[in-house]
Amino acid sequence: MNADEFEKHMENLQKPGADSVKPSIDIKLAVVNPQRSAAIGVWFIAVPCYFLFCIFMKYYFHFNIGIFDIIVEMMSDLDKNPNMWFLSPLLIVVLPLVGVVLNALAITHFSYAPVSRILQISIKLRWMNVLVLLVNLSLVSIFILYAIIENIHHSQIK
């Protein structure tokens, strides 16, 4: 192929259009703000942390102060009341689970390229969100593990 044929061949080639390449689509929930979700996560762990602190102070360190007794008796009364039975699991397990989801969404970013059909998941390390997420996850696992062990213990006694 000589230079003239090569030049004609190059002139006859179709130019790629910009319309054929679609940009990747970033999926991000507008509601999930990292600072806001960290603050909400802290508020959602306040009651379970205080309850766990009161349990440890009362039963493991034997500090019988009225403040510790109040929260323990309040949670016990919530369990005994047939109209309010759902409130203690909501405060102790569900709210920290919502905190886990909110903080996981705050640090996770999704990007989808429709041409290559690739979904990319990236995690942006925001240490406050990661810390709140881990504390929420720890609290949920402690209370669920306690419930499982308590039910196994009661089933073996009967």
3-state per-residue secondary structure call for the chain:
CCHHHHHHHHHHCCCCCCCCCCCCEEECCCCCCHHHHHHHHHHHHHHHHHHHHHHHHHHHCCCCCHHHHHHHHHHHHHHHCCCCCCHHHHHHHHHHHHHHHHHHHHHEEEEEECCCCEEEEEECCCHHHHHHHHHHHHHHHHHHHHHHHHHHHHHHHC
Lowest mean pLDDT: which of 15-24, 62-71, 85-94, 98-107?
15-24
**Digit-coded pLDDT (tens) for 128-146:** 999 999 999 999 999 899 8
The pair of three-digit structure tokens given for residue 104, joined into one six-digit string: 């996981």
**Within a domain: residue 22?**
no
**Within a domain: residue 40?**
yes
Q: Could you give the CA distance from residue 49 to residue 14 in angstroms, rounded to a whole number?
A: 66
**Within a domain: residue 88?**
yes
**Higher per-residue confidence, 158 vs 43:** 43
Give me the number of domains the chain comprises: 1
**Within a domain: residue 4?**
no
**Within a domain: residue 112?**
yes
**Within a domain: residue 3?**
no
Q: Which domain holds residue 122?
A: 29-150
pLDDT value of position 95: 92
**Within a domain: residue 41?**
yes
Average pLDDT of the residues in 61-81 = 83
Percentage of the chain surpassing pLDDT 90?
Answer: 23
Specify the pTM: 0.70
**Within a domain: residue 14?**
no
